[in-house]
Amino acid sequence: MPNKAKKKKKKKLAKTAYEPYVRHRITDSDMLALTALPPGVDRAEWLASNTVAFFKHINLLSSALSEFCTTSTCPTACGPGNTIYFWTDEHGRKLKCSAPLYFDYALSYIQELLTDEDVFPTKAGAAFPTGFFLLVQKVFLLLFRTLAHIYWSHYNEALALGLHPHLNTMFAHLTLFCQHHALLESEDTEPLQPLITALRRQR
Ligand SMILES: [Zn+2]
């Protein structure tokens, strides 16, 4: 029994020491410097490497909350203002589906694109395809919607898990990156504009 109590205390201390650091990351980061194209770097390469990084992080955040996003809690894929997200299949048909299905389609679609050498070449000097920018825009719209759904439907669970500093940082970084590189339409970001503004004010 005393051993167990000791173990529990140790675990609690470690968590308390870690948390303030994570929370401070939001205001410590210079997001603008992180998003701008570094001198001498090819624009397509910069977009590609950031797309991969954003996908990996958002995929992780989304899977951390996946147990709360089910066909019964979220029978319709939606975002702020109850905007419904329709999935367009390979035949151009619009499908109304549950949130877990929509985001599974979205993240699988992105993963497939990122591992396609013809779209996201990894070999030095390989050319990016025509239409690369349009595909990157599509990927960022799906990533934006993934975070928008978390804010709209799972913010309380994110708070309970202590994920909100990560979520806020990721969202602030993503929206600034998209604004800087003209990746999202204002009609897509509009429902979350008050949050975008509030997160920028904090910097
Ligand atoms: Zn959900």
Q: How far is CA 1 from CA 5, 15, 138, 182, in A?
A: 6, 22, 55, 59
The answer to the question of residue 80 being in a domain is: yes
Domain range enclosing 72: 41-201
Q: Once rounded to an integer, what is the mean pLDDT over residues 31-47?
A: 91
Q: Whole-prediction pTM value?
A: 0.84
Q: Is the pLDDT of residue 4 over 50?
A: no
Tokens 């989304």 -> residue = 62
Does residue 1 lie in a domain region? no
Compute, in angstroms, the gap from residue 74 CA to the centroid of ligand 1.
5
Number of domains observed in the structure of the chain: 1
Instruction: Examine residue 24 and state whether it is found in any structural domain, yes or no.
Output: no
| Binding residue numbers for Zn(2+) | 69, 74, 149, 154
Domain presence at residue 129 = yes
Write the CA distances from 171 to 36, 125, 168, 185, 189, integer angstroms: 16, 32, 5, 16, 11
pLDDT greater than 80 at residue 79: yes
Is residue 18 assigned to a domain? no
Q: Answer with the residue of higher pLDDT: 202 or 62.
A: 62
Per-residue confidence at 29, pLDDT binned at 50, 70, 90? low
Distance of CA 138 from the midpoint of ligand 1 (Å): 21
Give the pLDDT of residue 122: 86
- Residue 36 resides in a domain: no
pLDDT cut 90: percent of the chain above it: 66
CATH of the domain at 180: 1.20.140.30
Protein residues placing their CB within 5 Å of the ion ligand 1? 69, 74, 99, 153
**Average pLDDT estimate for 171-192:** 93
Tell me, in angstroms, the distance from the centre of ligand 1 to residue 46's CA: 31
How far, in Å, from the CA of 96 to the mean position of ligand 1?
Answer: 14
In a domain, 134, yes or no: yes
Whole-number pLDDT of residue 9 = 41
Beta strands in 158-199 (DSSP E): none
